[in-house]
Structure 1
Amino acid sequence: MAKQEQTASEYGAKDLAVLEGLDAVRKRPGMYIGTTDSQGLMHCLWEIIDNAVDEALAGFCDAITVTLHSDGSISVADNGRGIPVDIEPKTGLSGVEVVLTKLHAGAKFGNASYNASGGLHGVGSSVVNALSSRLDVEVDRDGTTWRMEFRQGHPGVYKDADPNKPNPGSPFTKTRKNKATELRKVATVGKGVTGTRIRYWADPEIFNDTAQFDYDKLIDRVRQTSFLVPGLAITVIDEHIPESTTGENSEVVEDATHVENVVDQASQINDIEASDEAQATNSGNATEPAHKDELGTQQADQLAQQQNAQHAPFAHPRVQQFMHTGGVVDFVDFLSTGEPVCDIWHISGSDTYEEETQAVGADGDLHAQMVERTCDVDIALRWTNDYDTQIRSFVNVVETPGGGMHVDGFLNALTRQVRKTVEANARKLKVNLKDSATKIERDDVTTGLVAVVTVRIAEPQFQGQTKDVLGTAQVKPIVTKLTDDVFGQMITGAKRGFKEQSGRVLEKIVGEMHARIQARKTKEVTRRKNALESASMPAKLSDSMPGNDDIAELFIVEGDSALGTAKAARNSAFQALLPIRGKILNVQKASVSQMLANKECAAIIQVIGAGSGTTFDLEQARYNKIIMMTDADVDGAHIRILLLTLFYRYMRPLIEAGRVYAAVPPLHRIALAGSRKGEYIYTYSDDELQRKTQQLIQDGIAFSDDIQRYKGLGEMDADQLADTTMDPRSRMLRRIRMEDAEHAAQMFSLLMGDEVPPRKQFIIDNADDFDRSNIDA
């Protein structure tokens, strides 16, 4: 204790550490880039790219090139005005050195050069410089190329053995303190040529061993920037990939190639699964489905990997270029999945606000002053029939994943206008205003919404250095008012051409409200615990016994006739039965409210007990497996597709978790004769029947010529149905994957949707492949 007291008493000014220049950044990098892992590594690149994009926002740049060099360094080049090379009077340093060595220095702190910028805190380039083992900068201005080099943030000169192969390990002469800057002329360029090129090597002394560069994140960032700055061409070059192996890829070519590869792989994967199924049925004994499906999936994955290795030795092209001219409208179109409920709606405008800011006066000191700012707002939105919400927000092309004032203003106005319009059209939309529960909530409005919200303002205020949330309060009322005015006309149908679209949007939102209310009621009827709960379920449900939730199975059975046989064939300890009357509603064309009003759909959702859409909770599902058990004919296949579309649209997590199956009932029963009388062989297709009978003849096994063909599940007796379709020890199931459900939904949209021309073209394209024998008579 005495020693501690003595130490405390000796604590004085000599114990204080003063970090000069960029040393503070190297000492506490997390304060500036968040982390020193992969996220911080990518953040450094964003800072350099954002500075180039700022030139484009200011109207002085239309091309940016990002190069990933084979030595691990990264360079960013733009054709903007170039960093100033003249002397900054206060420091006596060149503009280049000021930008790259001084924190909180740059044109973005003034009011003239940048009205809106992405590099917002004036520390971006200097922080990257401090955290790089080496950084080289070249500037084209006034017919001259100027060059300067840095080592861990300190200016100096490198002596590379090969000037074309700069190396951070080359001999370096550090510029002495108070010596003139080492900015030097290295070449001449045309008088009108301007731009900046920065190349840096991330310092391994700063970034930890887990820090890895993420190419996909770079491409996503570059792509989104090309949407947000229309007309800006951004090229990404990966020098790790030899020039001879791949050519340039644009946005369109890249996507088209991807689609083609997916189609090819899907075709071969389907071939494998068909082969697996044939092998299983040729054996004459049905096998447990889950094993068959998992094996087929593994083989399919291996095939896909082989295809990639043969045809795509590199994960991406050497060169990719992105440029879009449609702005946020194109961005929303790119982000949209599912069938659109409306066209893309565009909201844009601007307004001004006053803000108190600190400005440097004539005496060189900071003084508070009121300035007038301009806020430009650009929003695009669209609703789809999906239930996911995608809202991407940006301030001066910098993404704000945490939202902020601009998003709050947008959503507040959106919700308010929808509520007003629903109340004004309550009778038409069948909304009971007297029921306090039937109130539109924000989640109802945002379900299926795809939106891009952007604002451009000078000197925005963020919550934190990483710029996740916009904090400039004056932006909120501007976005709110603009959305109120423009969107209000759209949703009420007052704006020309929006009446029909607004009707569909309102119907969808009201449907989501009813789905939410219904889901809440369903959750109130929790997992089966007593007879009272069972009584609240649909009367036609033949439930299983409680206590076996981890293995419980729900069979959705086609028709009442099959139900009677299934009741006798099931194991009531863990198998439940829910009959449906023929073909359920085509939910691909129906609204949410129409779906909920359909007795069959509502019963399925209620019995599963996990809700629907955005409120679906997989943990609340009352059954471990959902099995569609329909006849082995065309009508049965049609019913399965309708059910599949219902699960895909409203209970997708069930499919994602691999808990949806299709039963595989046989088509034929061969009765053996002679010494094997009383034995039966089941086949599952006409081709298999032919092969099996030929095999029996060759093997000299007698069988009855009276081969039974099942027209439906109801024609089987209980023992037959149990052995072939329901008993886990002998049945065969087919697990439904996301690709199956998505394909079914797409085909339904094509063949039964509202658009006639695509359906007509499909029929024309596939007419030559039509086989009358495939029609089940």
Structure 2
Amino acid sequence: MLLQAVVQWVGDTHQNTSTSVSVPIRAASGPISLIAYGTAPGARRRRRRRPLVESTGTASRPRSEATPPRQEHTIATSDYSARHLSVLEGLEAVRKRPGMYIGSTDSRGLMHCLWEIIDNSVDEALGGHGDAIDVVLHADDSVEVRDTARGIPVDIEPKTGLTGVEVVFTKLHAGGKFGGGSYASSGGLHGVGASVVNALSERLDVEVDRNGKTYAMSFRRGEPGTFADEGEPTPDAPFTPFVSGSVLREVGKVKKAVTGTRIRYWADRQIFTRGASFQPDELFGRARQTAFLIPGLSLRIRDERPGSLTDGGFPLESTFRFEGGISEFVEFLAPDTALTETWRMTGTGTYTETVPVLTSTGAMVATELDRECEVDIALRWGSGYETVFRSYVNIIATPKGGSHQAGFEAGLLKFLRQQVEQNARRLKVGTDKIEKDDVLAGLTAVLTVRLPEPQFEGQTKEILGTPAVRAIVANVVAARFAELFASPKRDDKAQTAVVLDKVVAEMKSRIAARAHKETQRRKNALENSSLPAKLVDCRSNDVANSELFIVEGDSALGTAKLARNSEFQALLPIRGKILNVQKASVSDMLSNVECASIIQVLGAGSGRSFDLDTARYGKVIIMSDADVDGAHIRTLLLTLFFRYMRPMIEEGRVFAAVPPLHRVVVVHAGSKPNETIYTYSEDELKKVLAGLKRSGKKYQDPIQRYKGLGEMDAEQLATTTMDRHGRMLRRVKVDDAEAAARVFELLMGNDVAPRKEFIIDGAGLSRDRIDV
């Protein structure tokens, strides 16, 4: 076999130069990674060091000892020959350069090794072999992966003369994913997973159920042998390597139909950094994702390590199994209320590809192959504008997309653009064209494609590069949507109409937002002519310290002007109840004077164009009366912020002022000034009055009851509602805004039945509970 040796010339440290050349080396058998070091021409002569491993021209078993740190050899160019080449044989190259295979030796590398083992079991399940995978993080820092798949082959591999188990765990680029007969599609392509994990493990035990028997084999740092365990297995047990040939032990019998593989290994702490540890949240999260992608697969994760915790809310033993597959995945991912049901679209396509194929003689021959690509899509539209899209190739996540995602977007945009043009009169669309963002707004979708030997861009498998997949996915999307839009069913017709309405609404929103965007941005806080004249701005340009009070009515505005701190508190009065944006269109919302004023003053845009970083104020405080009308106004404002300026709520920058309901004046005898107590509910007032009576204190009667903010003088308003040291504010959370939106949908939405039920249930409400 002709192998390539990479010979790196390391120059004088002052020259800081290096070159590399390829040298063909013929070896007897086995994969050999060969690295040699020498001095560049003209460099100073240095003391020659003994090579790490002497080249013999034949493959040998890896050493069981830990590999020492790398040593570089420097030799004079006049004395350089093949005897100076260092040969790293078999798995020794993995231990020498682990970063080349797993990326790093910290926690990420440790998790990479674990996923290499798990993915082998997942690939079996992907091919329809086995429906259960168990992963156990043991208390002794070992990890065990069990599956019910076909089991690693135990017969002899003809080229090496070794059992299939030993080939899988000791030979790089060996496995069932190269010849093309064992896997139609696979998440692992490189064939180095199990062998790399074995090389980087202090101990690895494997058991295989196959042919009615249980077979076992153990390894120490990649070398096969036996451990003399006394009780529980441990990497510290005495180890005896095989001297001549390896032995796959028969350790038990099982029923003929029982198959599967169990692998337990202890990561080599001589390789991995001191702080490297298994990450339970990553493990649980990716296991759940995998179970969504393979319907019927049960993935059970158990963490037995003492003191282990998860940040993602997972119990330390969780089982993931989803019969609905990616349809359930869409429901899990969706961030909003559904406008359509979750549609499932599947299809296949074929293409021809010229690839190098490994023949039985070991030669690589360029061969033209017919490929098949399976497409599976689940999607639905929701009431929001956020797009949630996940794409996968053979269950490998492709977060940066690729040809499959491009095909999905192109097919969807082309079809819906045609539908909008055909329904232009009903949709009241002019010459404007919908764009990709209009179609994707509110869409939650999961796209999976399965194909043999996919091409990825780069080493991270984040972008699918196979060109033919684009057209296949686009055709499947167009065909399935054509069937859906042509369906005579009433529900299908209603839901497809909803999709077109939403897409057109998003288009109009985008156009309106583009037209208003520049006028909404703050260039000069005090001189921006586009700001409403009724805005009473503050003097400070410090956004983080500034506050915008949205005040109900002009009467409260007059008092608030005197009560505020004009340095950092701005005031914006609104006239009564603003538009209910729950039912209004985006254009109607932007045409409403009060809504437009709030968006303009805040200066950060609305909807998808909202940019929190350009907001002109650090806090928005809704200051309304403490009565039913005030609560109604506050709810309308919360709905506006929730639907069109949600990041303000998500970042905790929207507040509701809590003004008092009562003012109790405690009368003191003599020259001592009277004391003022504010209460915020009827129950609190009763407790205060009862306390005053018990202590024998007098108070002015009748108690002042504030019907609105306009009844307060400036000092009272400042003390109770505006002064930072004495006021009471309630931070608005997303849950509060969602509740407000639900109430408005119930009371003012298009669905009559829930509203009727609500009115009937509330008919018996006590009038005493209504604060008028």
Partner in structure 2 of residue 527 of structure 1: 522
Determine whether 1:610 maps to 2:675.
no
Q: Is the 8 A contact 2:456 2:463 kept in 1?
A: yes
Q: C-alpha deviations, 1:423-467, integer Å up to 9, x for none?
A: 44444444442xxxx553333332322111101111112234442
Aligned pair in 2 of structure 1 residues 463, 738: CA closer, same or farther (>3 Å)? same
Does the CA contact (< 8 Å) of 1:489 and 1:495 recur in 2?
no
- Pair 1:8–1:661, CA change in 2 (3 A): farther
> What residue in structure 1 maps to residue 719 of structure 2?
723
User: 1:748 deviation in Å?
Assistant: 4.9
Task: Give distance in 1, aligned partners of 2:700 and 2:525.
Answer: 50
8 Å Cα contact 1:493-1:502 kept in structure 2: no
**Equivalent pair of 1:73/1:199 in contact (CA under 8 Å):** yes
Q: TM (normalized to structure 2)?
A: 0.84
2:572 is equivalent to residue 578 of structure 1: yes
Tell me how far 1:332 sits from its aligned partner: 0.4
Give the whole-Å Cα distance in 1 for the aligned partners of 2:634 and 2:694. Answer: 37
| 2:259 equivalent to 1:184 | no
Rounded to whole Å, the distance in 2 between the matches of 1:226 and 1:515 is 38
Match of 2:495 among 494, 501, 517: 501
- Using a 3 Å threshold, how does the CA distance of structure 1 residues 717 and 576 change in structure 2: closer, same or farther? same
Alignment match, 2:219 = 150
The answer to whether structure 1 residue 688 and structure 2 residue 684 are counterparts is: yes
Instruction: Call closer, same or farther: CA 1:590–1:232 in 2, change over 3 Å.
Output: farther
Single out whichever of 28-37 and 68-77 deviates more from structure 2: 28-37
Distance 1:763 1:40, change over 3 A: farther
Is the alpha carbon distance of 1:519 and 1:18 closer, same or farther for their aligned partners in structure 2, counting shifts above 3 Å? farther
1:733 aligned residue: 729
Distance 1:167 1:750, change over 3 A: farther
Structure 2 residue 169 is matched with structure 1 residue 175: no
Bigger shift: 78-87 or 729-738? 729-738
Contact 1:230/1:326 (8 A) holds in 2: yes
Q: 1:344 to 1:492 in 2, by over 3 A?
A: same
- 1:4 is aligned, of 43, 52, 57, to 43
Q: Determine the structure 2 residue equivalent to 1:620.
A: 614
- Alpha-carbon spacing, 1:477–1:763, altered in 2? closer, same or farther (3 Å): same
Counterpart selection for 2:457 from 458, 463, 467: 463
Aligned residue number for residue 557 of structure 1: 551
Q: Distance in 2 between matches of 1:507 and 1:453?
A: 24
Corresponding position of 2:663: 669
Confirm or deny: 8 A CA contact 1:117 1:458 kept in the other structure.
yes
Q: CA contact under 8 A between 2:525 and 2:616: conserved in structure 1?
A: no
Which aligned pairs between 1:16-55 and structure 2 lie closer than 5 A?
A: 16-55=85-124
Q: Give, in angstroms, the shift of residue 759 of structure 1.
A: 6.6
Q: Which amino acid aligns with 2:684?
A: E
| Displacement of 1:472 | 1.6
**Structure 1 residues 211, 733: CA separation in 2 closer, same or farther (over 3 Å shift)?**
same
Which one-letter code corresponds to 1:776 in the other structure? D
8 Å CA contact 1:332, 1:380 repeated in 2: yes
- How do 1:367-446 and structure 2 match up within 5 A? 367-433=365-431, 439-446=433-440
Query: Aligned in 2, Cα 1:222/1:749: closer, same or farther, shift over 3 Å?
Result: farther
CA contact (8 A) 2:284 2:314 kept: no
Query: Structure 1's 50 and 636: CA in aligned 2 closer, same or farther, altered over 3 A?
Result: same
Structure 1 residue identity aligned to 2:372 = T
Contact 2:353 2:369 in 1 (8 A): yes
Task: Out of 557-566 and 738-747, give the one that drifted further.
Answer: 738-747
Aligned partners of 1:345, 1:740: CA distance in 2, in Å? 31
Q: Structure 1 CA distance, aligned partners of 2:297 and 2:759? A: 42
Residue 285 of structure 1 corresponds to: none
SS of the equivalent of 1:557 reads: strand
Shift of 1:746: 5.0
Question: In structure 2, what is the equivalent of residue 448 of structure 1?
Answer: 442
- Give the conservation status (yes or no) of the 8 Å contact 1:515–1:596: no
Q: How big is each residue's C-alpha offset from its partner over 1:356-394, in whole Å with a ceiling of 9 and x where there is no partner? A: 122223433111111111110001111222333221111
Distance verdict in 2 for CA 1:571–1:515, change over 3 Å: farther
Cα distance in 1 between the residues matched to 2:457 and 2:704: 73
Residue 635 of structure 2 contacts residue 740 of structure 2 at CA under 8 Å; is this kept in 1?
Answer: yes
CA contact 2:91–2:170 (8 Å) conserved in 1 = yes
Corresponding position of 1:257: none
- Give distance in 1, aligned partners of 2:273 and 2:311: 29
CA contact (8 A) 1:109 1:459 kept: no
Give the partner amino acid of 1:111: G
**SS of aligned partner of 2:543:** coil
- Contact 1:421-1:492 within 8 A present in 2 as well: no
User: Partner of 2:289 in structure 1?
Assistant: 224
- CA, structure 1 residues 45+745, in 2 after alignment: closer, same or farther (shift >3 Å)? farther
What residue in structure 2 maps to residue 268 of structure 1? none
Residue 107 of structure 1: CA displacement? 1.2
Spell out, residue by residue over 1:54-80, the C-alpha distance to the aligned partner (whole angstroms, 9 max, x if none): 222222212222222221111111111
Instruction: Give the match for residue 195 of structure 2.
Output: 126
Structure 1 gaps of 5+ residues are: 243-307
Report the secondary structure of 1:4's partner residue.
Answer: coil
Q: Which residue of structure 2 lines up, in the alignment, with residue 247 of structure 1?
A: none
Ranked by relative contact order (alpha carbons within 8 Å, sequence separation 6 or more), the top structure is 1
Give, in whole Å, the separation in 2 of the partners of 1:74 and 1:25: 20
Distance, in Å, in 2 between the alignment partners of 1:52 and 1:224 is: 15
Displacement after TM superposition at 1:761 (Å): 7.5
Corresponding letter in the other structure for 2:285: D
Confirm whether residue 234 of structure 1 aligns to residue 273 of structure 2: no
Q: Secondary structure at the match of 1:482?
A: helix
1:596 aligns with 2:663: no
- Is the deviation greater in 570-579 or in 588-597? 588-597
TM-aligned CA distance change 1:313 to 1:120, over 3 Å: closer
Match of 2:541 in 1: 547
CA contact (8 A) 1:33 1:466 kept: no
The residue matched to 2:480 in structure 1 has which SS?
helix
**How many angstroms apart in 2 are the aligned matches of 1:160 and 1:760?**
73
The equivalences for 1:750-765 within 5 A come to none
Q: How has the CA–CA distance of structure 1 residues 50 and 587 changed in structure 2, closer, same or farther, with 3 Å as cutoff?
A: farther
Between Structure 1 and Structure 2, how many residues are aligned? Answer: 700
Percent pairwise identity: 58
